Amino acid sequence: MDINGDGQITELDMAPLGYPEIPEINYGIGLSAGYKGFDASVFLQGLARESFWIDPKATAPFRRYLYSDEVFAPGTILQNQVIKAYADSYWSEENRDVYALWPRLSPEGGNANNEQYSTWFMRDGTFLRLKQVELGYTLPQHVIKRINAQRLRVYFNGTNLLTWSKFKLWDVEMAGNGLGYPVQRVFNIGAQLSF
């Protein structure tokens, strides 16, 4: 968009977009309940009013990264994977989809126009995550007195079980780098025994 009205689209037409990359709202809520021998706790965590940009330099296919202290043979490609989302939706001469996720696949040198910050790569970073759930059951005294125990509780817990977000390409907490290491989902089963 020609913001300054000079009839050309240049760097002078850049303007702030979206929300900050540091979320304006962080929140969490925890709930716990118990009934007879059963207990449950839930923790939800999220953030709002945050934007991020898909980082074309970090996620671009066929990109070569050279570091000053490393020497590689000519023609060495250090990253040649293509994110599935890009492989499924990119502009080409055969597929002139103007709404394709990746504007155009380019060889190793890349296309500088594909790496500009714009609304095309801007995403809503808002999410709500079911961060922690624990379900437990404490066995009654008449059952555990046979093993001379004071208390026996069995439980199941899980971490990072569900995420609600408008962003669906990869874990929203990874922000613009879809090739990073995602948040892990963890399950545990255990017992607490007191004598």
At residue 118, the pLDDT reads: 81
Paired strand residues for 57: none
Query: pLDDT tens for residues 170-193?
Result: 899 999 888 778 899 999 999 999
Cα 150 to chain centroid, rounded? 44
Asked if residues 94 and 100 have their Cβ atoms less than 8 Å apart, the reply is: no
At residue 128, the pLDDT reads: 98
Question: Pairing between strand 38-48 and 25-35?
Answer: antiparallel
* Choice between 127 and 92, residue whose per-residue pLDDT is larger: 127
Q: Name the token pair of 50.
A: 């945050």
